[in-house]
Each structure stands twice: as C-alpha cells, then as structure tokens.
Amino acid sequence: MKISAARVIVTCPGRNFVTLKLETDQGVYGIGDATLNGRELAVVAYLQEHVCPLLIGRDPRRIEDLWQYLYRGAYWRRGPVTMRAIAAVDVALWDIKAKMAGMPLYDLLGGKSREGVLVYGHANGADLGSTVEAVGHYLEMGYKAVRAQSGIPGLDLAYGVGRGVLHYEPADAAMPTETRWDTRKYLDFIPSLFERLRETFGAEPALLHDVHHRLTPIEAARLGKSLEPFDLFWIEDATPAENQDAFRLIRQHTTTPLAVGEIFNTLWDAKELIANQLIDYIRMTVVGSGGITHLRRVADFAAIHGVRTGCHGATDLSPVTMGAALHFDSWVPNFGIQEYMRHSEETDAVFPHSYQFEDGYLHPGDTAGHGVDIDEELAARYPYKPAYLPVARLQDGTMWNW
C-alpha cells in the first residue's frame, strides 16, 4: 500500500483552517488538521515544501515509523509548526488505518472507556451580569461544565470575551489588535464573578476559568487561593509555563486545580509538571502535539502521575481535531474533560462530521475512521484571509502575555 497524493487544503469559512489530505493507491484517504491560529501559512509551507514530497510512495500503515521519520529526520525538533505538521500526517494516517480496519478510531486505540465525552462550553460576557446570564444559557443547553470569562471593570478588551454567543474567535483582525491588561483590576474582580456564579447556580455545575498566561507565579497563587471557596474545576494557564518549576510556588499556596498545556507541542514541555504533580490536567491536543501517536504517550505518562487529560478544543482547532480528539477521549483511561467551543455553521458545512452533542457530552459516532470529512468544493469557496491573534500590553505599554 502506498501514499499516492498529499495535498494541503486551506479554507476560511469564517476563520482559517489548514487540512492535510493523504490519498493512497487503494482509494482510501485520510485527513488531518494542521491549523496554527495566526501562523497558518508557516505550517502550510512546512507541509507543502518539506513534508508532502517525502510522503509520496511510503506505506501509510507504518504510522510509528513515519512519525519517527518526520520527528527525528527533520533534525530541528519540536516547536508548534513542526509538531502541527507531524500531527496532520499522523491523524490522517490513523484515519486511513481505521477506515481500512472498518472501525471507529476509538476501537483501534483500545475501545471505549466511557459512554460519552464530558465537555465544557465557553460562557462569556462584557460584565459580571452578562457573564452569569451566559453561564445560565449553557446550563440550559445541557452543559454540566462551563468556562466563565468576563469583561474586567476598567479594562477595554478582556481575554475570552467575544462577540458571538456560542463561539469565540480571538483572531479577529488582519493585524494584531493591541489590548491593555491590568493584573490588579483582574485579581480584584474575578473572585466576585465566581462568588455570584455559585450564589446563582449552586455547587453542582463544574466551573472553569482561563487565566491565559497573565499572572506571575505568586499572583497565580493568590488567585487560586481566593477562588478556593468557589470550588472551581480548574484554573488554566495560570502563569506562563516555560518555567515548569514556577508551578511549585502556586501548588504551595492553593488547592484550586491547575490545567496547562494548550501551547505545548511535545511531552518535554510538560515532563516536570506531570512528574512532580504540579498540575492536575494536561491540555495538549492531537493537532498541537504531533497527533494521536505522541498524545497517547503524554496521556500514559500523565496517568502514572495522577494527571488527567483536558484537551484544548477552541474554535481555531478544526472539526477534524475535534473528531479525532473525541475518539482519543473515548479511549484514554485518565480522561478529565474536553473543551468544546462550537464552530460556525459554515465551518460545520465544510467539515461534515459524525460527532453529536447531547446533555453535556459529545459522542464521536461509530463511522470508520475519525468520522470527519472535508467538502473540498465548498472549502474552495472560502479563500485564506490573514488574521492575527491580539497582543497585550500593560498600562505603561510593556509587552505582556495575551
């Protein structure tokens, strides 16, 4: 069996997506997501110029060997561009293998470990009141877990507050939007948001919050401690995680669970955090971390250290990633939760899929493969449109973390 074609499809049904399609000499094809929000064309070039030519004629059944070939063979290892390109190949090959076997991908991985995949939605509002209302809307839709992000009094553009009701797209401009950040305003406000959410909705709903890399370790420790009475499911990206050791300080001060990892791309980014139980959930994804082949290793390493998965699932991860992730989530024994930021209707039309939301859970369906396809004709109607993520500066203009 041989790979006969490897094509990169760029489409922008409301936002940009990069998809790799691998075709074989036996007529079976597989697709993988390679989207890197705000840097899409870097991965397109890496795939088209340096990966696709190497794939033609190779045996698509040799998933592990191809992974090692693309990882070790590049010499220049790791990084978001390289690992997303490898992920796209890997997920497309797992899609092909499952289709050849005539089974849903989760069966190939070892079968289901649960009846459904618990997901959390993204409630946000310009102020405390509208955020509480948005959380109520998600609970009415049947979500059992909701992330809450709110505008911060005194700040113009807060992270996580979008224009839509159901989904939030941060890459909203042809050049990066400049936002201003003020940690004190944020730390003074957030506890009141979760106090109100608990007063309104009680102890039942799982509440999550994304700090989005904006605090120093001691500020993150203070936030975690101040939120303990409200029993959050997790706070995410509490502090930038290049220095994995920084999480020791947070751990010393608070029992609020910690999640990190959506911007990691190999196990090496998380090894100390997991081995020392400095986090509770690892957020790495099939698209960001070299595909199913590597993410399985991350999950197994996490499992022996009591850390659970909590895969990133924002709008900028395509339905292909969501589909593959749901098969992974269905199998992985140390599953925690799956993020589910809904895609727009145009996106769902370009990427027909078998996964369904029901009563707070997503179900991957039992189609052979990962259950997601791409309508190439429809995709061609949405040409690439440059879009950047915002940047953040402190009040004095110092560059900060968006």
Active-site positions read 159, 212
The window from 68-76, 205-213, 300-308, 377-385 that contacts Mg ion (CB under 5 A) reads 205-213
Interface with Mg ion in residues 275-294 (CB under 5 A): none
**Could you tell me the smallest distance in angstroms from the CB atom of residue 389 to ligand CS2?**
6
Q: Which residues are CB-neighbours of 96 under 8 A, at least 6 positions away?
A: 22, 24, 28, 29, 30, 60, 369
314 contact, one of ligand CS2, Mg ion, none, CB 5-8 Å limit per kind? ligand CS2
Q: Which is nearer to ligand CS2, 316 or 329 (CB)?
A: 316
How many of the chain's residues bind ligand CS2 (CB under 6 A)? 11
> Strands 145-150 and 206-210, how do they pair?
parallel
Contact pattern for ligand CS2 over residues 312 through 331, marking x by CB under 6 A: x-x-x---------------
Helices of type H across 179-315 = 183-201, 217-227, 246-253, 271-275, 292-303
Helices of type H across 202-245 = 217-227
Q: Is 262 in the site for ligand CS2 (CB under 6 A)?
A: yes
Q: Is 170 in the site for ligand CS2 (CB under 6 A)?
A: yes
Interface with ligand CS2 in residues 211-250 (CB under 6 A): 212, 236
Q: Is 33 in the site for ligand CS2 (CB under 6 A)?
A: no
* 396 C-beta neighbours (distance < 10 Å), count: 6
Dihedral angle computed from the Cα positions of residues 115, 314, 64 and 275, in that order, rounded to the nearest 10 degrees = -80
Q: Which is nearer to ligand CS2, 97 or 283 (CB)?
A: 283
The window from 179-187, 238-246, 300-308, 309-317 that contacts ligand CS2 (CB under 6 A) reads 309-317
Please select the residue that binds ligand CS2; options are 40, 90, 95, 210, rule is CB under 6 A: 210
Q: Which is nearer to ligand CS2, 38 or 191 (CB)?
A: 38
**Could you tell me the smallest distance in angstroms from the CB atom of residue 37 to Mg ion?**
12
What 36-42 contacts at long range (C-beta under 8 Å, 24+ apart), as own/partner pairs, is 36/80, 36/81, 36/84, 37/170, 37/171, 37/314, 37/316, 37/389, 38/171, 38/176, 38/387, 38/388, 38/389, 39/80, 39/81, 40/10, 40/16, 40/384, 41/10, 41/384, 42/81
* Cα angle 83, 160, 195; round to 5: 125
- Spatial distance between the Cα atoms of 162 and 33, rounded to a whole number of angstroms: 24
Q: Is 210 in the site for Mg ion (CB under 5 A)?
A: yes
Q: Is 339 in the site for ligand CS2 (CB under 6 A)?
A: yes
- Spatial distance between the Cα atoms of 186 and 379, rounded to a whole number of angstroms: 40
Catalog residues that contact ligand CS2 under the rule CB under 6 A: 37, 170, 210, 212, 236, 262, 312, 314, 316, 339, 389
Catalog residues that contact Mg ion under the rule CB under 5 A: 210, 262
